[in-house]
Homo-oligomer: A and B are copies of this chain.
Amino acid sequence: MTSSLLSALNRSLHATVRLCSVFQPKNVCKSHVIAGGRWSTGWSTGWSRRFTNMTDTRGSPAFGKCTKGVLMAAGVFGTVAVGVCGLQQAEMATRVKKVEEVVEGDVAERCRNLMAPPITDVRVLEQRKHEMRSRMEMLIMETQADFCRALEEVDGGRFRVDRWSRQEGGGGISCVLQDSKVFEKAGVNVSVVFGHLSEEAAKQMRSRGKELKGKDGKLPFVAMGVSSVIHPKNPHIPTVHFNYRYFEVEEADGSKQWWFGGGTDLTPVYINEDDGVLFHSVLRDACDKHNPQYYPNFKKWCDRYFYIRHRNETRGIGGIFFDDLDSPSQEEAFSFVKSCAKTVVPCYLPIVRKHLTDTFTQEEKDWQQIRRGRYVEFNLVYDRGVKFGLATPGSRIESIIMSLPLTARWEYMHEPAEGTKEAEMLKVLRSPKEWI
């Protein structure tokens, strides 16, 4: 479907979403600009209770000095909401308007339920609410909040919320629930970063076939995404991972190249046929609403991507994975990504609830820990986002490493005996199956 080179670049660029400098006092953006603004009056107390990585917990730390940068960046990206899809612009403009007003609703109102204020100033999001970058930022913020609330409800614990900024532009919100009742480690991260593509990134892009013509050699970009990894304590509750992202780069003539990427995949410790069917069915249904080829293609892509080559095993039982999605139109692609993002709760929470009270043995816990070791191997050795992140100076390492489990285990020459549940799991990992 697409070359690994193509997806590599996109993943790399996505990775910048996660790779931002740790929030430091010198980067703090004071809230004086919009203090007293609509969102800040009613919510700052609730939010500040949750912020642990800020020096100013009242109002939004991303405002003030940062606002200028955000506005500038927003200006750089101009007012063309739909980008390169000229043929469909008129139709889409109508649809965008409709979606904004009827479905997506008032930005400030929607912000009430987030885990923290958005990275971009709410006033900017309001002003530019027809632009894809604003709509996508709202989607990833809401996906984070919906997922965190659902996990909190089942766990009983509360997420720690860390807001951080990136010196070069943008920042993120990392929500983590660690060593809680149900979850060993649950991380849900949002990031929105912008700036200029490095020469290296631009070169990588060109090598992937994306011809980019910068103005005075500069290529302004914005990259954003929501990503999550949930490691439960009970070995009968699977680990889940999802990530949905958007990338935009502006060329010299003001036109933009943009694409979406993402996916959701499940990593059980033991095979449970019903869980696998439920998980894949929810994803397929989301895909089928947009294109009947999406699920079969993205399911295969997922099995290929989450493959631990040196073990000849997939990381889990898959799901969907896609990248470089820039068709059939920006509106349609966004609509598909939104459908996917809306599945993260219904494809996972029913499985969590079902196994909440399952009993387990020490042997089952040990096998879970060994599978956790494999998870670490995949993430540190193969995951392109992690690799790129760790190699990028100034990355917020904790937001990358938070995908690793709280605990993991490596036993020399561990091989489950034939006929065991562990061997059954391995068999599926060594030969991915069709679930539906």
**Chain A positions near chain B (C-beta within 8 angstroms):** 53, 160, 162, 176, 178, 185, 187, 309-311, 369, 373, 376-377, 380-381, 387, 389-391, 395, 397-398, 400-402, 404-413
Contact = CB atoms under 8 A, between A and B. Distances in A.
B412 A176 contact: yes
B412 A398 contact: yes
Contact of A397 (B311, B387, B391): B311
Given A310-B400, A377-B401, A406-B409, 5 more contacts: A178-B412, A373-B404, A376-B408, A406-B410, A407-B409
Contact of A380 (B381, B405, B409, B413): B381
A407 B310 contact: no
Which of A389, A397, A402, A408 has its CB near the most chain B CB atoms (within 10 A)?
A408
Nearest to A176: B412
Contacts of A413: 53, 162, 176, 398
A146 to B, nearest CB: 21
A396 to B, nearest CB: 10
A185 B411 CA distance: 9
A408 B411 contact: no
A27 to B, nearest CB: 17
Which of A369, A387, A410 has its CB near the most chain B CB atoms (within 10 A)?
A410
Contact of A310 (B373, B390, B405, B412): B390
A410 B406 CA distance: 5
Given A310-B395, A397-B310, A412 B185 contact: yes
A400 to B, nearest CB: 8
Contacts of A376: 376, 380, 408
Nearest to A402: B412
Contacts of A398: 412-413
A403 to B, nearest CB: 9
Contacts of A410: 185, 401-402, 404-408
A18 to B, nearest CB: 12
Which of A160, A310, A390, A397 has its CB near the most chain B CB atoms (within 10 A)?
A310
CB-CB nearest 3 A-B residue pairs: A380-B380, A404-B410, A310-B390
A402 B373 CA distance: 12
A245 to B, nearest CB: 21
Nearest to A308: B390
A212 to B, nearest CB: 28
Given A310-B390, A310-B395, A380-B380, A178 B406 contact: no
A31 to B, nearest CB: 23
Contacts of A400: 310
A287 to B, nearest CB: 33
Which of A369, A398, A413 has its CB near the most chain B CB atoms (within 10 A)?
A413
A210 to B, nearest CB: 27
Contact of A407 (B176, B185, B395, B408): B408
10 contacts: A53-B413, A162-B413, A178-B411, A187-B412, A310-B390, A310-B397, A376-B380, A381-B390, A401-B410, A407-B410
Contacts of A390: 309-310, 381
Which of A178, A187, A401 has its CB near the most chain B CB atoms (within 10 A)?
A401
Contacts of A409: 406-408
Contacts of A404: 373, 410
A406 B369 CA distance: 10
A315 to B, nearest CB: 14
Contacts of A380: 376-377, 380-381
A20 to B, nearest CB: 13
Contacts of A53: 413
Contact of A406 (B395, B402, B411): B411
Contacts of A397: 310-311
